[in-house]
Amino acid sequence: DGDGRLTYPYDHAGPGNASVGAEIGIRAGSLQIAIGFAHTRADAEEVARVALQKGAGSVRQAFERAWRSQPEIPPALAKVSGDEGMLARASLALLHCLEDKSHAGAFVAAPAAPWGETNHDGNHIYHLVWPRDLCRIATALLDAGDTEAALRAFRHLQNHQRPDGGWYQNWFLDGTPHWTSIELDQVALPILLAWRLGVAGCLDHDPYSTMVRPAAQYIIREGPVTQLDRWEDLGGLSPSTLAACIAALIVAAEFASDAGEHVAASHLRTVADYWNDRVETWCSTPDGQYVRLGTDPDHRPAQGSIAPEFLELVRYGLRRPKDDRVLRSLRGVDAQLKVTLPSGPSWRRFVGDVYGEHEDGSPWNGDGIGRPWPVLTGERARHFFAMGLSAAELVRSLEGFAGQGLMLPEQVWDGPEMPHLGLQPGRPNGSATPLGWAHAEYLELLVTIALAGFPDIVMPARRRYTEGTAQAPAFVWSHKHQITRIASGRRLRVQLPRPGAVHYTFDEWESYTDVEAIDTTLGVWVAEIPCNHLLPGRDFSWTAHYVTGWEGKNFTLTVD
């Protein structure tokens, strides 16, 4: 320090930054310094010694060669961008930077913490792997032509899948879980990534038995209610989560059919058909407005927080872009969530969002006002293009949201200019910057426009739900989804966790019928009750009998 000696010695490194001081016994001339980091002193010394042997010039040249060897974006992306490909090139480079160099395929969500100047709790951090962000990043890299990076991300997901088929909410680079809640879309998206890799012809093995099948089993066992939706603060019946799960179950059924597991494929499609049929009843109000979350599978929500989550139904091909329900709901979204900024429009996440700065610009502290997300601008641009409209304005909007170094943030500021806080309308606020998900969404938008196609659409799902005849699928009851009402004209499929039989009555047990449950080979057994002939208002009851004995209670459903 300024005294020429260390005046503040410490015996340990506490919270904060650790500084290293040393005295160099050279009075004049040039010198090279190498600093090594490792888990032991001996290893750190070896790292530094090897670097010195190479020399600063060689190390710099190798570093520059590595950067220059980064793949160039496909020329078509530059042509459809609004800045001659500048943000696209930066996005591709940035996504590569998010991959850890010691754990292949471990792409972190962001190399930052939101509002890091004041957020020091060590909990709200983004240098973690989220399955959702990882799948978005891998898909963007795949679409940009880097199949090897996408495969590395896929292998990382396979290596960190839990024994029960699910994934943790997020984890550190070595796989240690950080947040442990379950988000069903994060179980579905790896299945969809497997599908995308397969369609592209770059899978180097069949992931059905080792990854896809266990994940699909988890979804049908735990769904349709998710513990948390993609915004990670509430759970329920989410249109975006359901969209990903329905598409994933259809994809898993295709894998199962290819493997000759036709009974399994049939049940996966049955569950997907049921959830797809009920999305509007579960997740929209009587006037047709989709909401962020439904809570009761037996009753339509009378009201709810407006959010653009339903656009994921279009993304995967489950609803048409010009579906009346979609267009009607977009009007509600624009009325309550759209924000006009100097670079163009953007959207907030949902009504009542508190994740953002306060009105006076002070940092988020567990409370605040949710600000616009560039990711949502990208999602809306996809929908514009899907309707046959130009998405050029929204492409330029996204490019205008980029901050220093062409980095896209998690959120942008939408309040008045506050120079003393570094807040400018339409520019990054204190949220995590750069956000890999935002850069991935931008690249995928350019790919969609350049190809005049929609790579995320699951074609078997689109053919089944938007091009085929209207369905009246059976309702599916499970212990995690104990519905008490069923639409008239529908059959009930009971999904049991172990071998057994369903014992049901239509006349309050004056008579009854037994149906042996069929093994789906997915770890669940199913039996159907032919209640489709019952008139509205009628009740029927059933219970289950297993090898170990009776269920222990009766279940009653009312026909609507």
DSSP per position, 331-364: HHHHHHHEEEETTEEEE-SSTT---S--TTSPPP
Same domain, 272 and 183: yes
Same domain, 60 and 95: no
Same domain, 92 and 135: yes
> Rounded CA gap, 492 and 83, in Å?
55
Exposed/middle/buried for 281, CB within 10 Å: 0-12, 13-18, 19+?
A: middle
Q: How many Cβ atoms sit within 10 Å of the Cβ of residue 375?
A: 24
Q: Indicate the residue among 466, 501, 522 that finishes a domain.
A: 466
> Rounded CA gap, 293 and 314, in Å?
17
- 16 forms beta bridges with none
- Using an 8 Å Cβ cutoff, are 328 and 289 in contact? yes
CA atoms within 13 A on the CB side of 374: 35
Same domain, 63 and 86: no
- Using an 8 Å Cβ cutoff, are 194 and 154 in contact? yes
Which DSSP letter does residue 371 get? -
Return the CATH number at 480. 2.60.40.10
Q: How far is CA 195 from CA 84, 296, 360, 377, in A?
A: 31, 32, 46, 26
Same domain, 272 and 382: yes
The answer to whether the bond into 363 is cis (omega within 30° of 0) is no
Per-residue pLDDT tens digits for 209-247: 999 999 999 999 999 999 999 999 999 999 999 999 999
Return the CATH number at 324. 1.50.10.10
Same domain, 53 and 89: no
Domain with 24, as residue range(s), is 1-69
Q: What pLDDT does 15 receive?
A: 62
Q: Indicate the residue among 416, 431, 466 that finishes a domain.
A: 466
> Rounded CA gap, 123 and 113, in Å?
9
Q: What pLDDT does 71 receive?
A: 83
Q: Which amino acid is at 354?
A: V
Chain-centroid distance of CA 454 in Å reads 18
Q: Indicate the residue among 443, 466, 489 that finishes a domain.
A: 466
Looking at the predicted structure, is the pLDDT value of residue 23 above 80?
no
Same domain, 242 and 300: yes
> Rounded CA gap, 399 and 525, in Å?
51
Q: How far is CA 252 from CA 195, 260, 548, in A?
A: 9, 12, 32
Same domain, 212 and 314: yes
Looking at the predicted structure, is the pLDDT value of residue 3 above 80?
no
Same domain, 335 and 483: no
* Six token digits for residue 534: 């019952």
> Rounded CA gap, 124 and 116, in Å?
9
Same domain, 247 and 290: yes
pTM greater than the 0.85 cutoff: yes
Contacts of 160 (CB under 8 A, 6+ apart): 129, 167, 168, 171, 175
Same domain, 348 and 488: no
SS3 of residue 215 by DSSP: helix
| Total number of domains in the chain | 3
> Rounded CA gap, 446 and 79, in Å?
9
Q: What pLDDT does 18 receive?
A: 62
Same domain, 502 and 449: no
- Whole-number percent of the chain with pLDDT over 90: 89
Per-residue pLDDT tens digits for 361-396: 999 999 999 999 999 999 999 999 999 999 999 999
Which whole number is the average pLDDT over 443-451?
A: 97
